Amino acid sequence: MVSFCSIFDQFQPDVFVFFPMVVVCLVLNVVWLFFMVNNSWVNNRVSVVWVSFVGFALKLIFQTTSEKTGPWAGILFTVFVLILSINIMGLLPYNFTSTSHLSVTFSIGFPLWLGVNVLGFYISFSSRLSHLVPQGTPLVLIPLMVWIESLSLLAQPLALGLRLAANLTAGHLLIFLLATTIWSFVDVYLAAVSLFVVFILLFVLEIAVACIQAYVFTALVHFYLQENV
C-alpha cells in the first residue's frame, strides 16, 4: 500500500502512547504557578530564573499602561506564557503546534476581545459609542464612519487569530519544505551542508517568531484593554 503524504500532515495532532503531546504544553501553564510560592529564605536557581522572567515579561507587555489595566496583569501574563510555551514546544520533533490552527487562536482571542469590549461598554457606554464617530467628521459622512469603525472593531478578533496562526503556519511549512529538500539532496554533500546551515538559521528565526508572536498577541489584547478602561 502506497501512502501519500501532504505538507499539511505535520499539523495533525501527534500522540505518544495514546497521550496527546499538546497536553504537555497545557500542563506547563499550571506547573509554573507552583514556582510563584517560595517557602525558603533563600531563593533557589529556579525561583531566581522564574522571577527574572516574570519581571522581564511584565515590563515588556506593560511598557505603556495605566492603573486601570493593573488587575488584568495576571490574565495577560498567563495568556502570554500559554502561547509562548505552545509555540516553543511546537518546534520540538514529533510535536504539534496547536496555535497554528484557527480554532485554537480564535478560542483564545475572541473571549478576551469580547470580555474587554463588554467591560468597556459597561464602564462607559456613551464614551465607547463616541469612538465610532471621530471628532470633526462631517454630518454627511457620519453613517459611513459608523459602519467603517464598527467593521474595524469586529475585525479585531480576526486579526488576533489570523496573525498568530498564519505566521506560525508559514514558518512551519518553510521548515518542513527545507527539511524535505535536505533529505532529497543528502547524496550531494556540498548542497546538503549548505541547505542544513540555512535550515539552522531558519530554525533560530522560527524560535524568535514564536516568542514575538506570543508578545504581539498579548500586546494587542493589552492595547484593546487600554482603549476600553
For 114, the grid coordinates are: 469580547
Q: What is the pLDDT of residue 152?
A: 81
207's CB contacts (< 8 A; 6+ apart) are 88, 91
Cβ-contact 62, 73 below 8 angstroms? yes
What pLDDT shows up at residue 34? Answer: 66
At 12 the three-state DSSP class reads coil
CB 101 within 8 A of CB 90: no
Domain boundaries along the sequence of the chain: 9-228
d(CA 211, CA 136): 40
CA distance 136 to 88: 47
pLDDT at 39: 62
> Percent of the chain at pLDDT above 90?
2
- Cβ atoms of 25 and 86 closer than 8 Å: yes
Cell reading at 201 = 538559521
Which of 90-109 are b and which e, b meaning 16 or more Cβ less than 10 Å from the residue's Cβ? bbeeebbbbbbbbebbbebb
For residues 107 and 212, the answer to whether their CB atoms sit within 8 Å is: no
Asked whether the beta carbons of 116 and 224 are under 8 A apart, the reply is yes
Count of C-beta atoms within a 10 Å radius of residue 28: 16
All residue ranges of the chain with pLDDT < 70 are 1-26, 28-44, 46, 65-66, 94
The predicted structure's pLDDT at residue 14: 58
